[in-house]
């Protein structure tokens, strides 16, 4: 598997979860190869020089980059085997003449996320952002609606680098934390929120649903609440306090839905 440098933090996790070896050139030039992420010219270069079967797993914003390219680069991928993580991405590639199958991924051990949801009249919601992309990842939305749902505590991870959490009203800015600490802290929460308008299948949603929580997404996924306006988002957030038991059905569905790729052997 060849993983884009733009998502390099996911490389070792993907290799371990899917039990697949790392691509080595020129040794593997004729081997069937998965190209995970197509973000920049370097990724296209690796793809073009490969002479064996090509499988592309689009990771999210790389499709936006492809849509913005003025050159007819999309034709390079028409003969590859393409996978995306939601129907929005599938529709976007179809506009470029690229057929793709919808198969969401999750590159951590599913069994590391047992059900931990406990009902609460004061739910906690978590989300994350990359540095300098806070608006894209929805931090601005929370600033606008937080006072409308005072019973909710919002936990914002990532974004600007902080030495310690900062709280204002019902918003806590955690800054960047280790994946281990993040996984431990979110066990006590009730909803993973993903406001991105373009995205792959986020780990925020995956981890939340696996823990029996009630995640909320801007993009449609089976058995996950989604919204089209801030008013709808506020309504969904207010409904969290009415969730009386873990989200068992959706959890069971996604345990079988993620990583449904031909290169992954389900034991």
Per-residue pLDDT, 266: 60
Predicted confidence (pLDDT) at residue 249 exceeds the cutoff of 90 = yes
Rounded mean pLDDT of the chain? 94
Map tokens 């003025």 to a residue. Answer: 70
- Alpha carbons within 13 A on the beta-carbon side of 60: 14
Per-residue pLDDT, 160: 81
What are the extents of the domains in the chain?
Answer: 2-102, 110-254
Higher per-residue confidence, 135 vs 227: 227
Tens of pLDDT, residue by residue over 46-55, are 999 999 999 9
Give the three-state DSSP class for 175: strand
Give the three-state DSSP class for 126: strand
Residue 183 to residue 181: CA distance in whole angstroms: 5
Per-residue pLDDT, 5: 95
Give the three-state DSSP class for 186: helix
* Whole-structure pTM value: 0.93
Tens of pLDDT, residue by residue over 76-115, are 999 999 999 999 999 999 999 999 999 999 999 999 999 9
Predicted confidence (pLDDT) at residue 130 exceeds the cutoff of 90 = no
The two structure tokens encoding residue 225 = 């609440």
Predicted confidence (pLDDT) at residue 70 exceeds the cutoff of 80 = no
Q: How many CB atoms lie within 10 A of CB 116?
A: 15
Tens of pLDDT, residue by residue over 173-207, are 999 999 999 999 999 999 999 999 999 999 999 99
User: Where residue 12 falls among pLDDT bands split at 50, 70, 90?
Assistant: very high
The alpha carbon dihedral of 92, 97, 103, 104 has a sign of negative
Tens of pLDDT, residue by residue over 233-247, are 999 999 999 999 999
Q: Within the chain, how many helices (H) and strands (E) appear?
A: 9, 12
Average pLDDT over residues 34-49: 95
Residue 217 to residue 219: CA distance in whole angstroms: 5
Predicted confidence (pLDDT) at residue 156 exceeds the cutoff of 80 = yes
Do the bridges between strand 171-175 and strand 166-168 make them parallel or antiparallel, or are there none, so unpaired? Answer: antiparallel
Residue 11 to residue 163: CA distance in whole angstroms: 27
CATH for 110-254 is 3.40.50.2000
Per-residue pLDDT, 41: 92
Per-residue pLDDT, 148: 97
Per-residue pLDDT, 164: 82
């Amino acid at each position: 598997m060849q993983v884009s440098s733009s998502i390099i933090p996911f490389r070792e996790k993907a290799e371990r979860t899917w039990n697949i070896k790392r691509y080595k050139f020129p040794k593997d030039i004729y081997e069937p190869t998965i190209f995970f992420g197509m973000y920049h010219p370097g990724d296209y270069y690796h793809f073009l020089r490969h002479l064996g079967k090509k499988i592309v797993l689009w990771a999210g914003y790389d499709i936006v980059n492809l849509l913005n390219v003025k050159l007819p680069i999309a034709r390079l991928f028409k003969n590859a085997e393409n996978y995306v993580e939601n129907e929005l991405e599938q529709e976007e590639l179809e506009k470029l003449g690229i057929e793709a199958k919808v198969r969401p991924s999750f590159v951590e051990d599913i069994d590391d996320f047992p059900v931990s949801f406990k009902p609460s009249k004061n739910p906690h919601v978590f989300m994350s952002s990359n540095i300098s992309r806070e608006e894209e990842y929805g931090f601005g939305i929370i600033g606008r609606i937080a006072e409308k749902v005072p019973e909710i505590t919002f936990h914002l991870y990532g974004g600007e680098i902080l030495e310690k959490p900062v709280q204002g009203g019902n918003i806590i800015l955690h800054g960047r934390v280790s994946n281990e600490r993040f996984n431990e802290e979110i066990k006590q929460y009730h909803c993973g929120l993903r406001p991105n308008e373009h995205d792959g299948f986020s780990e925020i949603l995956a981890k939340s649903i696996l823990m029996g929580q009630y995640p909320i997404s801007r993009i449609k996924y089976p058995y996950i609440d989604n919204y089209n306006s801030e008013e709808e988002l506020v309504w969904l957030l207010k409904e969290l306090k009415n969730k009386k038991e873990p989200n068992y059905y959706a959890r069971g569905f996604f345990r079988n839905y993620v990583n449904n790729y031909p290169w992954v052997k389900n034991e």
